A = this chain, B = another copy of it.
Amino acid sequence: MSLERRIRAEIEDRIRSGEWRPGHRIPFEHELVARYGCARATVNKALTALSRAGLIERRRRAGSFVAFPHVQSAVLDIPDIRSVITERGDAYRFALLSRAVRPRRAAADEAPLKPVGPMLVLEGLHFAGAAAFCLEQRVIDLAAVPEARTADFSAMPPGSWLLDHVPWTEARHRIGAANADAGQAAHLGIAEGAACLVLERWTWRGGAGVTQARQLFPGPLFDLVATFRPGGA
């Protein structure tokens, strides 16, 4: 453990424990330098990291203060489906349901994918053990990824294949809820109309749209992840 991490951890503990409440002024850099007997750069690095994490606010001439959690903002970590399943101890499997090549993109929901060329349209199921975990509908721009036309998606999920072949540089996400239609419900083994969590993802590479994925997770509550971020903007 580096000294910088130790300084950071000790201050973070005092904040999280409530010993230093929001608004409390934490020691000046030169005071911490004296306390730890180190250079100011080391103390500064620790405090800068705490500031980036939103735990403290720093003001010139005034000092550093425990941040007020002004905004109820938080960050949800969306992990990879495969790792979610395997880390729960279940066996992961992907099954392709359908595959088609469409001459061009549909207008509505694929708007972020700019090119108007042939599109590969896939539908598949992610399994956790024997149970369906996620229904995935995916569109791949064949102009951006011509190799996808001959790729074998029968066992390998398209997301993983794409990662290996066309590393993305940018992604956007949308999250929401939708009632499962009859076909989706049958695939997922749930009742028609049951609420599903919907995760949509668009992926670009160097400004060019690569793929769009729409993933349905059967509810009622999908435990994603929890991350902590106080302060915020």
Contacts and interface: CB of A to CB of B under 8 A. Distances in A.
B176 A206 contact: no
A130 interface: no
Given A175-B197, A221-B174, A224-B175, A230 B71 contact: no
Interface stretch (A56-64, A78-86, A90-98): A78-86
Interface in A174-192: 174-179
A174 B223 CA distance: 6
A21 B167 CA distance: 8
B178 A18 contact: no
Contacts of A68: 163, 167
A10 to B, nearest CB: 16
Nearest to A159: B72
Contacts of A159: 72
A118 to B, nearest CB: 22
Contacts of A198: 177, 220-221
Interface string A1-43: 0000000000000011111011000000000000000000100
A9 to B, nearest CB: 15
Interface string A195-233: 111101100011100000000010111111011101010
A224 B163 contact: no
A143 interface: no
Interface residues of A toward B: which range? 35 or more
A196 B195 contact: yes
A80 B76 contact: no
A132 interface: no
Given A74-B171, A200-B221, 18 more contacts: A18-B169, A18-B205, A41-B41, A68-B167, A69-B168, A69-B169, A72-B159, A73-B77, A75-B77, A76-B78, A76-B175, A174-B222, A174-B223, A176-B219, A177-B198, A178-B220, A179-B193, A179-B219
Interface of A: 15-19, 21-22, 41, 68-81, 83, 159, 163, 167-179, 193-198, 200-201, 205-207, 217, 219-224, 226-228, 230, 232
11 contacts: A15-B169, A16-B169, A18-B169, A68-B163, A71-B79, A75-B227, A172-B226, A177-B197, A177-B219, A177-B222, A178-B220
